[in-house]
Amino acid sequence: MAIISGKIALVTGAAAGIGRAAALKFAQEGAKVVLSDVNVDGGEETATMIRDNGGEAVFMKADVSVPEEVDALIAKAVDTYGRLDCACNNAGIEGRIAPIVEQPLDNYDRIMAVNARGTFLCMKAELTQMLKTGGGAIVNLASVAGLIGFPGLSPYVASKHAVNGMTKNAALEYGKQGIRVNSICPGGVDTRMLDSLAEQATGGAQSSAQMMDPLHPIGRIGTPEEIAELIVWLCSDRASFVTGTNIPIDGGFVAQ
């Protein structure tokens, strides 16, 4: 039985990786899905994949760091489907690996703009809409880097700690209005982002799996589909007593 049938779900960063997997899972579980990304070709491809499998989806290009584009995205969801029930704020970037002294300011600013400011702007618009219709569920994509430190990734670590903090605050502020807000903290996952980090860290000498598999007690990195399972469950009524959490989904990484 579909666990989220009839719901309207928004997924940012839906062109590939975790965002695409989440969008496909939402549709598989009965939701109508609104997708966004700055990558138009990838986003449209995700929407086509959903429709080809009998689901309903609409794509809109949006940069989550731009308030007007975020507001237009939420308006698109409401204009198309009448409301917004669930949101997965997944859009994010990794940036450059370097110790703090060598980090360019523009790298820090761009990472914080997309990952932290983008999550804030999306939640602000999503919450505004959900308050009008009496409730909803939001899942923010943080990272194990939002729970612990990673040398060389200070801007990314800062942005994901910010996501986890905002998640807790939003849950406290809007719980009594029927809105649940959680974040998830993936470990290594087989995505373009992890490939980029592996390329930077090893100069191409190791794949992301070769670099990261041994670091996870489970013995491997995760798949986007495994992450999508948790995202959609958290947006379903089966998670009705879960809010304000920063949940690791990391093959035991932060248990070490």
Q: Which residues are catalytic?
A: 156
Contact by Cβ (8 Å): 45, 15: yes
How far apart are alpha carbons 198 and 204 in whole angstroms? 7
How far apart are alpha carbons 123 and 173 in whole angstroms? 12
80 in helix, strand or coil? helix
Residue whose C-alpha is closest to residue 77's, from 48, 57, 63: 57
Contact by Cβ (8 Å): 195, 94: no
Contact by Cβ (8 Å): 86, 235: yes
Strand order, beta sheet including 86-89: 57-61, 32-37, 8-12, 86-89, 136-141, 179-186, 246-249
Residue 44: enclosing H or E segment and its boundaries? helix 40-52
Torsion of CA 108, 114, 116, 117, to 10 degrees: 110
Residue 67 CB: number of other CB atoms within 10 A? 14
